[in-house]
Amino acid sequence: MNNKQIVPAFAQMQKWMLLCLLFFCIGCNRRDLTYYETAEITLTVDWSQSGLNGMDEAAHGATAIFYPIDGGKPKIVLMGNYSQETVRLQQGVYNVILFNRSFTDFSNIAFRGNDGYETLEAYNKNIETQIDRNTDTRIIIGSPEKLAAATLTGFAVTEDMLGNYTQTTYGKAAHSATAGNERYALHFVPQKRSHEVIAVIRVEGLNNIRSAICRLDGISESIFLATGKTSGQSITQEFPLSHPVFDENSPFNGTLTATFNVFGIDFSENHRLHLEAKLVDGKTVFTGDYDNVKVTEKDNGKGVITIYVEATTDKIPEVKPEGGSGSGFDVDVDGWGDEVDTDIPIE
């Protein structure tokens, strides 16, 4: 075989090799386009109705949980940006719960029933049991932080939604091929799942009190995030009183206040308040139990509802202040906490 015969054969072999390589590359690209398994969904959140302090809560982020209605394993999305995030979902139908922070970011709240949309429950985790005569009293010793949640049911990811992103590797896509399409966007407006309580306790003989705590019964132990309904279990909330305010022209009588959060409180039942006060002599402890507790709701006109608890105690006994200052209650109230807005709703 001479050189003239070798050159065409070699050229023909190169041609076939290039054609094979081309078909191989086309086959690979087609496989990538055909076997997308997820759709990219954009989550946006409007926290304006949540009762949360946006600047404080933003640092904690948020959590979205996608529950497949077929009973599959929930997909948990931790949102570093608590107002917007993207998530990739497989084909299916989902119920969704979104709440502020994460399962482990609360000091006084824990969660149970995490595997089910309807069973996910937030509860007070700082509870102790005290034996009071013939009953065991369960007492919350740390009120829950503020909690808000939003829900969505029946969100469907269909086959034609898969592969809507431009990036084929794992991670966030730089740009969605369907940006602006409402099929690929979910918007949430979280609502309160905890409520602020302001307790106002009227005291005759306030000048004789050094420090005081109260316990209020009929408080809901937990709340279901999907429905906003509280559990049937009620417990007692313990809270410290602060900020003494004396009546005008009176150095003896006035009010003490407290602000704390609850998951719920039953307005239909009578509530009992227990007061325990350490007096200024440093040794006397005054206690009292009261059934004349008034629990009301007040709307500030902007849809923000605050629960008010009002009660009046018995007269606090006169004692001689420790150290013999002779002035009863010290007007320096730096140790009593910050001032609380205690406007009482007028009927």
Tell me which CATH code domain 38-106+148-192 carries: 2.60.40.1120
For the chain, give the mean pLDDT: 84
What global pTM score does this model have?
0.79
Residues 244 and 328: beta-carbon distance below 8 Å: no
Q: CB–CB of 296/345 below 8 Å?
A: yes
Q: Can you give the pLDDT at residue 43? A: 97
Q: List Cα–Cα distances, 167 to 40, 157, 158, 175, 342, in angstroms.
A: 10, 19, 19, 8, 55
Point out the residues of the chain with pLDDT beneath 50.
Answer: 29-34, 168-179, 326-337, 344-347
What does the pLDDT read at residue 55?
A: 80
Q: What is the rounded distance in angstroms from the CA atom of residue 216 to the CA atom of residue 267?
A: 13
Give dist(CA 120, CA 118) in Å, integer.
6
What residue ranges do the domains of the chain occupy? 38-106+148-192, 195-336
Residue written as token pair 């807005």: 341
95-125 pLDDT, tens per residue? 999 999 999 999 999 999 999 999 999 999 9
